[in-house]
Amino acid sequence: MQRSRSYAHRGIKTKPKNKFKKAIIKIVIGLCLLLAIIFYVPYHSNHKYSDSPNIKLGSSGYCLDDYQNKLPGSGLVNVWSCNATKAEIWTASGINLIHDNYCLSVANNAVAENSKVILKKCDGTPGQVWLADKGGYQNPNSTLCLAASLSARSKPLFISSCSSLGKSFETWSPVASIHSNKILVTSCSGDRSALVACYAEKQWSIWQSGTVDHNILLNTYTDGTPYEEWCADFVSYIYKEAGYPFTQGSANGWDENDANQIQYMGYTIHYASTGYLPKPGDVAFFNYSAGHVEIVISGGKQPTFIYGDSGTIDPTTGNGQMKANTILGNVSGQVVYYLSPN
């Protein structure tokens, strides 16, 4: 008969019960500490804790803040002492400044100086568009910049003349992103339309930063040709940079310097009179005397555009400026149709 095995008598020992108990105690203590962190920190600081990066004001120690983390409940957005709380978690995402899925917005899409800035559901309206401008944020719809009042930290943010860019109350970091020390730090992604819009935003940021000579930039956009009305050149350059160069351009294949010829570069035409709502990456065609084209970076009923403008004077080059606005028409011409990339 086969004998039963006795491991105890052959030197194989079972684990002592006290080790098991110690392990359970350690787990319980760890859970208690975790719960203490989860529940204590929010009540202690009035906000949920986070180590996410902040958007800092030029004045040392102040950060963009959703007052008491109330979101649109109060609508109050101010600056407060940087404290690593949830109220100060913001994402500089392309043309938007986002907090907890809500967008920093100029109230009622106002264009008057000192208009209040609030939090609002992200809806693509022009009051939610912020472009990097010399260390600050410009709202193209108003052509004014995001500003804070340090005399009262609880006072809402507002928009003010961009003539104060570089001063502490209009300087923010990081700025929506795109250009820092002559190095592009944000990559573009998405479909063709998103890429076109993103590359237009990048060039705006580079132009406004002043870190690259405007003569060099203008020469790049116009493909080395003599200065001209460069709106079409800019569209051509952006499409090439986004990876979708024209194939019928008048210079080097990809470049087209005649706004009237842009419509023949493989686009789908959507007439404005049909109620078409443009989307980022579309090209708006205006019926100015010589034709004019602008790139849509934010679509909808009141789109935001970036474009090369020959009608303004850039003090550096003596030629045109790069512009951004939401103007659909004026005495010189109107948007006739939008061209969408195929």
Side chain identity at 67, as an amino acid letter?
Answer: Y
Kindly give the confidence (pLDDT) of every residue in the chain, 342 residues in length, as a single tens digit, with 9 standing for 90 and above.
Answer: 433 333 233 333 344 456 555 666 655 555 544 443 333 333 222 333 233 468 888 877 788 998 877 766 667 888 988 887 888 998 877 799 999 889 999 999 999 999 999 999 999 899 999 998 888 999 999 999 999 986 666 688 999 999 888 788 888 887 644 433 333 445 788 899 999 999 999 999 999 988 899 999 999 999 888 777 899 999 999 999 999 999 888 888 899 989 999 988 888 999 999 999 999 999 999 999 889 999 999 999 999 999 999 888 888 888 889 999 999 999 989 999 999 987
Token pair of 98 as six digits: 């986002």
107: helix, strand or coil: helix
Extents of the domains making up the chain: 56-177, 182-341
> Does domain 182-341 bear CATH number 3.90.1720?
yes
**Alpha-carbon distance 146 to 116, whole Å?**
10
Query: What's the whole-model pTM score?
Result: 0.80
**Cα torsion for 233, 235, 240, 241, to the nearest 10°?**
110
Judge if 56-177 and 182-341 fold alike in CATH terms: no
CATH for the stretch 56-177: 2.80.10.50
Residue 308 forms beta bridges with which residues?
A: 322
Strand 102-106 with 117-121, pairing: antiparallel
